[in-house]
A and B are shown apart, each in its own frame.
Chain A
Amino acid sequence: MQVRNGKDFWAGLMFTGFGLGFMLVAQNYPMGSAVRMGPAYFPTVLGGMLAVLGGMVFFRAFVSKFTYPLKVFLFRPLLLVGSIVVGGATYFAESQLKGVPMVQSALAGLSLFLFIGAFGPRSMFLILLGVVIFGYALKPLGLVLSTVVLIVISAMGGHDFRKKEIVILTIVLVIFGVFVFVKGLGLPFNLWPGE
């Protein structure tokens, strides 16, 4: 048996994985009956359907008339394993780490970055990295600095990074953000750290 359609192969695995995952987690909740459905009822049924459909897509990958290589997009399995190890450790060591929340967040963050880095091209990693940092930096650093971080990191994900242009773009967007988001729309962001 040879995989003919790489896209179907992975899509099938993904759907089955999601379906089984939802079914498994749903078993923690009461099932109820058809008359009085518990919180587990609907997700279990749907999860089962999804797993079956995933199976269909998976098997279709071997007989498909479309052919795609098995390597559909960049994938770095080592990083994924690392992410799961760090993430799992953080999750199960939660009780030990209660006293030091900083360490826990740092580990969770590391796991997340490894996870994002495991898939896709470099540009995606940089863009999503910029986005996540922006989200967590907005409150402590303020709008101005986090905008700078977002624009510079995400611009590095592009094909040609032109320093001068990015500097100008950043300045323009910072001014725009301050006047439109904060002054104009009245969004409750602080502009500078510690305000």
Chain B
Amino acid sequence: MDFALFHNLSIGFGVALSLQNLMYCFIGVLLGTLIGVLPGIGPVATIAMLLPVTFNLSPISALIMLAGIYYGAQYGGSTTAILVNLPGESSSVITCLDGYQMARQGRAGPALAIAAMASFFAGTVATVVIALFAPPLAEVALKFGPAEYFSLMVLGLVGATVLAHGSLVKAIAMTILGLLLGLIGTDVNSGIARFSFGLSELSDGIGFVIVAMGVFGFAEIVSNLEQGASRDVFVNKVTGLMPTWKDLKSSSGAILRGTALGSMLGILPGGGALLSSFAAYTLEKKIGDTSMFGKGEIRGVAAPESANNAGAQTSFIPLLTLGIPSNPVMALMIGAMMIQGIAPGPQVMTERPELFWGMIASMWIGNLMLVILNLPLIGMWVKLLTVPYRLLYPSILLFCCVGVYSLSNQPFDVMLTALFGLIGYVFVKLECEPAPLILGFILGPLMEENLRRAMLLSRGDASVFFTKPISGVLLGIAILLLLITLAPAVRKTREVAFQE
């Protein structure tokens, strides 16, 4: 077993260290850092924009680059959080609390350095976690039939709703709305174009990028403008990057805890970077001396930063082993794999080992590049932050438009994205979290197909979902999760946790 692991990793590094793949890894992490630093444009919009471009790349280069964007963004986001008190990436919201305070005390350097070190350590551990846990999981997944897949998706969706901000009922409703939107287009079994209103453009369904770009990208620009965000950039000279011995000592425990928590939460469906960073910060606040939290505690930077990186990376596990995306970025990765003609799922590991292990190896290399990229180049990123939003958002719009248009060269797609931007704005105003909607949108057709197959196989007996062992356990966990969330005590802590 261990021998096989080394063998596999050596294949992986062989692939990832080729000059071409190193270059794409570098482009990925560089772009990731860039968009991570810039508030208002995230990995979803960027990956969506680059999807059409990856068509011309080899599958492994494409995936390496796109993965780099995601975890690169986690690094970049912390820079903005610490220096400007604004989350460059949603997963670094929590880093603002203590990171910005440190910057105000003239300790921006150590905060940035600890964030980078924590991220690198977490990235390394998460890479090992993927290498260790993905293969056995994939083996289990190979035994999955339609009933198991259906139950797994139910669990994934329940996970996403439970972990969403705000009201549970609204989150479930958003998931179902997402599932319904995903069903628009031609039904594979009957060939009937559903909900297309006679528009030929809708008969292939709505592209995932269109929904994601509209609901996340455009809607965010509009609400940023509405808030009249005049961001005063707090760009002190960043001097003295090196943290003191005391900093290192007090943050090492936080980094370890953050990494462990992030690695676990990343695997959960609906998990990923955002949730991990919140959980890690909450945990850290319960341990040891808590008097400094919110006033520049270095542990408050170390824990969430390690957790969001670990979570970002381990969220690849469900994608690579089960073919099921646990968050919007992973859904885009599925899109990227499909463009390359790869059906995501447990068979990828056995049929295309170079793809699987190459990607894992590239993550570690990418993390190394990020440390090198981030610390010495910090001045450049800081300069970038001084670009005012009024110049930034028209540029972001142009990128988004070009990205959507180039999907299929249809003006209709751009119009539809604008419409989803409007819907996304309404969602924001009504406090309806869009993440579960996106997940439902992706899983809608898959769920319907597996439900149909399972029911056909069982001759219409719905109890099959509970009597098959794996399926029953998965559904049981889903129901348990829902019940726990509804329990009064948990409900209260959940409300508190999301208010912070």
Contact = CB atoms under 8 A, between A and B. Distances in A.
A23 to B, nearest CB: 10
Contacts of B369: none
B192 interface: yes
A25 interface: yes
B8 interface: no
Interface string B456-472: 10011010000000000
Given A49-B176, A150-B394, A29 B192 contact: yes
Interface centre among B56, B389, B429 (most CB of A within 10 A): B429
Nearest to B440: A46
Interface in B435-468: 447-448, 451-452, 455-456, 459-460, 462
A39 interface: yes
B460 A154 contact: no
Interface residues of A, number: 71
Interface in B50-103: 52-53, 56
A132 B190 contact: no
Contacts of A139: 411
Nearest to B426: A119
B462 A131 contact: no
Contact of B183 (A42, A157, A165): A42
B170 interface: yes
A119 B456 CA distance: 45
B190 A30 contact: yes
Interface string A34-50: 11111100110011011
Given A151-B394, A159-B225, A187-B406, A36 B456 contact: yes
Interface in A132-154: 132, 134-136, 138-139, 147, 150-151, 154
Interface stretch (B232-240, B290-298, B414-422): B414-422
A162 B459 CA distance: 68
A37 B221 contact: no
Contacts of A181: 402
Contacts, number: 195
A100 interface: no
B221 A127 contact: yes
Contact of A39 (B194, B226, B451, B462): B194
B406 A35 contact: no
B414 A132 contact: yes
B204 interface: no
Interface string A105-136: 00000001001100111011001101110111
Nearest to A10: B430
B429 A72 contact: yes
Interface in B171-192: 172-173, 176-177, 179-180, 183, 187, 189-190, 192
A169 interface: yes
B425 interface: yes
A86 interface: no
B305 interface: no
B20 interface: no
Q: Taking chain A's interface residues, is the majority helix, strand, or loop, or is none over half, making it mixed? A: helix
Contact of A134 (B52, B414, B455): B414
B144 interface: no
Nearest to B414: A135
B88 to A, nearest CB: 20
Contacts of A35: 455-456, 459-460
Contact of A136 (B409, B411, B448): B411
A109 to B, nearest CB: 9
A37 B194 contact: no
B493 interface: no
Contacts of A115: 422
A60 B169 contact: yes
A3 interface: no
B394 A37 contact: no
B451 A42 contact: yes
A177 B429 CA distance: 33
A30 to B, nearest CB: 7
Contacts of A165: 390-391
B401 interface: yes
B397 A127 contact: yes
B394 A169 contact: yes
Nearest to B432: A11
Contact of B390 (A22, A30, A60, A155): A155
A177 B406 CA distance: 13
Contacts of A7: 429-431
A57 B398 contact: no
Contacts of A124: 222, 225-226, 421-422, 425
Contacts of B389: 158
B425 A120 contact: yes
A194 interface: no
Contact of A116 (B192, B422, B448): B422
A177 to B, nearest CB: 7
Given A56-B169, A124-B222, A124-B422, A43 B432 contact: no
Contacts of B284: none
A131 B397 contact: yes
Contacts of A185: 53
A35 to B, nearest CB: 4
Contacts of B398: 147, 150-151, 173, 177
Given A15-B173, A43-B180, A116-B422, A131 B225 contact: no
Contact of B401 (A119, A121, A131, A160): A131
Nearest to B219: A124
Contacts of A147: 398
A121 B173 contact: no
A171 interface: no
13 contacts: A22-B195, A25-B195, A35-B455, A35-B460, A39-B187, A43-B180, A50-B180, A53-B173, A116-B422, A124-B421, A127-B225, A136-B414, A166-B394
Question: Which 3 residue pairs spanning A and B have beta carbons closest together?
Answer: A135-B414, A35-B460, A39-B187
Given A30-B190, A177-B402, A181-B402, 4 more contacts: A14-B430, A46-B183, A124-B225, A173-B395
